[in-house]
Amino acid sequence: MVNSFYPPWVGGAERYVSSLSKELVKRGNDVTVYCSGRPLSAGASLEDGVRVVRLRTPMMLYGTPLVVFPKSFFAERYDVVHANFPSPYLAAVSAFAGALKRTPAVLTWHNDLPPVSLGASVLVGLHSAVSPLYLDHFQRIIATTGVYARRSETLRRYRDRVTVIPNGVDTRKFNPGVNGDPVRERYGLRGKVVLFVGALTRWHGYKGLDVLLKAFRTVKDRLGDARLVVVGDGPMRDVYEGLAREYGLGSSVTFAGYADDSTLPLYYAACDLLVLPSKDSSEGFGLVLLEAMASGKAVIGTKVGGITEVIKDSENGVIVNPHDFDALVIAIVLLLEDDNVRRRMGANGRRFAELNDWSHVAAEVERLYAELQ
């Protein structure tokens, strides 16, 4: 398994790789993960049965760690090499390693490259031109939603190799029985609580925290005791905290910072509603939506990327158009005010999450591996 990072680094792809790897180990497989050493040091360790090889990372380029692969990566024998995108560099190295060793290669396409700046937009265009040089070497490409498989220009180009296998969630870790009181007490949360979970970096700007902050100032005016809790950290935190001050949100917003795997379920348990107001199709799935559903919470998302396959509008959550502040405010206020609707959506979301427990998802991935042998 190859990915940019691995826990304790926080991110959806990182939770995907760690959860899938652990579940594959439970099913009797030997799994080695190659990833950047950051935020820890380079070296190998055994973590929950998964061999994790953290690599030296001299530099980062547009959010991608340019790691130094050891000779063992090319010398050791594996039955499958499974890479994760968006990281063109790591995907390319994985594809070429598979071709060199005549080993089947699989790629999980979490999302297209986000054009977050002019330089990134140039990179996206360049990648589109050169990506066939390595994508042609993958025998299978996993898309996490059917809608994303149909909308992504790259996935459409390789549709004969694309298999849709959804993201998974640990329904034992994230469940309605978790007690969120410690989080509520820590931050003095007395009224209704809206939760946002995501990395606060430029590369995750498409998650739409700026949109949520702008909308929340109206939510605060209508529901004076509502609180917004932001879980996540990164170099953009100061920018978002500045926006909160600019909008006069004051103590209505709590920036909780980084939460590890053991404490993250407590934040879902402490909230009444999770909001993911993503702004464009860079949102391939929205794993936090599934984690909130597993926790029995209603969710709000936007009509972008793969979200429409995760949220069934008015069943397990609400979908609004991206950048539509008025619609977002209405949806938040509606769900916070109507306990019955919110609880019904949360119960429906829990049932949906149970169908996507990692035990089911890992079995599907394992079957895909077997087809390539």
Closest CA relative to residue 198, chosen from 146, 239, 233, 153: 233
Angstrom CA distances, 87 to 148, 152, 193, stand at 18, 16, 35
pLDDT in tens, 268-301: 999 999 999 999 888 889 999 999 999 999 999 9
Task: Tell me whether residue 76 is exposed, middle or buried, using C-beta atoms within 10 angstroms of its C-beta: 0 to 12, 13 to 18, 19 or more.
Answer: exposed
The answer to whether the CB of 335 falls within 8 A of the CB of 298 is yes
β-pair partners for 313: 317
Contacts of 92-101 with C-beta under 8 Å, sequence gap 24+, read 92/133, 92/134, 93/2, 93/69, 94/2, 95/134, 95/135, 95/137, 95/138, 96/134, 96/137, 97/73, 98/137, 98/138, 99/137, 100/74, 101/74, 101/77
- Global pTM? 0.91
β-pair partners for 300: 275, 318
Closest CA relative to residue 306, chosen from 291, 285, 323, 288: 285
Q: Which two tokens stand for residue 303?
A: 């009509």
Task: Tell me whether residue 301 is exposed, middle or buried, using C-beta atoms within 10 angstroms of its C-beta: 0 to 12, 13 to 18, 19 or more.
Answer: buried
Q: Torsions phi, psi of 164, nearest 5?
A: -90, 115
β-pair partners for 166: none
pLDDT in tens, 32-87: 999 999 999 999 999 999 999 999 999 988 778 999 999 989 999 999 999 999 89
pLDDT in tens, 321-343: 999 999 999 999 999 999 999 99
Q: CA–CA separation, 73 vs 369, rounded Å?
A: 19
Burial letters for 260-291: b for 16+ Cβ neighbours within 10 Å, e otherwise? eeeebbbbbbbbbbbbbbbbbbbbbbbbbbbb
218: confidence class by pLDDT, cuts 50, 70, 90: very high
pLDDT in tens, 189-214: 999 999 999 999 888 899 999 999 99
pLDDT of residue 120: 60
Q: CA–CA separation, 107 vs 97, rounded Å?
A: 13
Q: Is the pLDDT of residue 119 over 80?
A: no
Q: Torsions phi, psi of 125, nearest 5?
A: -65, -40
10: confidence class by pLDDT, cuts 50, 70, 90: confident
Report the share of the chain in percent with pLDDT over 70.
Answer: 97
Q: For the chain, which domains are there? A: 12-168+357-371 (3.40.50.2000), 181-355 (3.40.50.2000)
For the CA atoms of the chain, what is the radius of gyration?
20
Q: CA–CA separation, 1 vs 362, rounded Å?
A: 13
pLDDT of residue 261: 85
